[in-house]
Amino acid sequence: MELVFALVIGALTSSGVYLLLRARTFPVVVGLTLISYGVNLFLFSSGRLATGGQPILGSTESYSDPLPQALVLTAIVIGFAMTAFVVVLSLRNLADNEDDHVDGRQGERPEKPEQKSEEERSQ
């Protein structure tokens, strides 16, 4: 079980990291989402894996660790807020720069031309 779970987290991380390194906002956002799935599962599993041990008092004999669950719940909600923000930011990027690159190929108005008037070159 542990191996399967570990492989799942590994696959999520790998896919997420690969997408994170893409050149456009959309894959990056998808990559971040995958990473956060992986991270949530990881944090969750820091309390170890249990079957049928839901931490509802009285529902079972032995309980799984409730603390990581609470942490992950917090992490999920925060992750959602962050994802929403970054999605909207990529929309803003699209609006401002008319395409969705994040690799420096656009969006940056070149600063070079203004260099001419440097003091050093004035004479």
Partner 1 sequence: MNHWLIAPILIPLLGGVLQAFMGYAPISLRRTLALGTTVLLLVSTIVLLVMADDGSYRLYAFGNWEPPFGIVLVLDRLAALMLVMTAVLALFAHLFSIGGADEGNRQFHGLFLFQLMGLNIAFMTGDLFNLFVAFEVLLIASYGLLMHGGGTARTVPGLHYVVLNLVGSAVFLISVGMIYSVTGTLNMADLAVRVLLLSGEELELVKAGGMMLLVVFALKAALLPLCFWLPKAYARATAPVAALFAVMTKVGIYAILRVYLLIFGDDAGALANLGMDWLFPLALITLTMGVVGSLGAQSLKTLVAWQVIISVGTLLAPIALGSEEGISAALFYLLSTTWTVAGLFLVAELVASQRGSALDKIVTAPRMRNRTLISVLFLIGAVAAAGLPPLSGFFGKLLILNSVTSGPEMAWLWSVLIIGSFFTIIAYSRAGSIVFWRTVDGHIEEPKPLGGNLRAATGALIGLSLVIVAFAGPINEYTDATAAQLQNRAAYLEILQTPMVGEEN
Partner 2 sequence: MITIALYITIAMVTLAALLNVYRLIRGPDAPDRVLALDTLYINAIALIILLGITLGTRMYLESALLIAVMGFVGTVAMAKYLKRGSVIE
Partner 3 sequence: MSLPLVVLLPFLGAIAAPLFAQGGRTAIAIASSVPALIALAALYPNWQVLADGGYVLYHQEWLPALGISLSFRLDGLALLFALLILVIGLLIILYARYYLKPKENIAKFYALLLCFKGSMLGIVMSSNLLLMLIFWEITSLVSFLLISYWTHKQDARRGARMALAVTGGGGLALLAGILIIGNIVGSFELDDVLAAGDQIKAHAMYPVALTLVLLGAFTKSAQFPFHFWLPHAMQAPTPVSAYLHSATMVKAGVFLLARLYPALAGTEQWFYMVSFTGMATLLIGAYIAMFKHDLKGLLAYSTVSHLGLITLLFGMGTQLAAVAAVFHVINHATFKASLFMAAGIIDHETGTRDMRRINGLWRYMPHTATLAMVAASSMAGVPLLNGFLSKEMFFAESLELNLPGLWAWLPPIVATLAGIFAVAYSARFIHDVFFNGKPVDLPVYPPHEPPRYMKIPVEILVFACVMVGMFPAISVGPLLYSAASATLGGDVPDYKLAVVHGLNLPLLMSFVAFFGGLLMYTQRQRFFDFHARFKEIDEKAVFEAVVSRLATFSHDLTGRIENGSLQRYALLLVLSVIAVAAAPLMNVGIFVGELGLSPVDLPTAIAAGVLIVCALLTAFLHRERFYALVLLSVVGLIVALAFARFSAPDLAMTQLSVEVVTIVLLMLALFYMPSWTPLESTRGQRGRDALIALVAGVGMTLVTLAMLTQPFSSISDFFLENSKTGGGGTNVVNVILVDFRGFDTLGEITVLAIAALGIYAMLKDTALTPPPGDGMGHPWTRDAHPMMLRQIARPMLPLALMISAFIFLRGHNLPGGGFIAGLITSVALILQYIASGMVWTQERIGIKYHNVIGLGLLFAIIAGAGSLAFSYPFLTSTFGYITWPVVGKFEVASALVFDLGVYLTVIGATLLALVSIGRLSPHSAIKPKKEGV
Q: Does 97 bind partner 3 (CB under 8 A)?
A: no
Q: How many residues bind partner 3 (CB under 8 A)?
A: 97
Q: Which of 21, 46, 39, 23 lies closest to 79, judged by CA?
A: 39
Buried b (16+ CB within 10 A) or exposed e, 9-43: beebbebbeebeeeebbebbbbbbbbbbbbbbbbb
| Joined tokens for residue 10 | 């590994």
Which positions from 22 through 41 interact with partner 1, judged by CB under 8 A? Answer: 25, 28, 32, 35-36, 39-40
Residues that bind partner 1 (CB under 8 A): 20, 25, 28, 32, 35-36, 39-40, 42-43, 45-48, 67-68, 71, 74-75, 78-79, 81-82, 85-86, 89-90, 92-93, 96-97, 102, 107-109, 111, 114-115, 117-119, 122
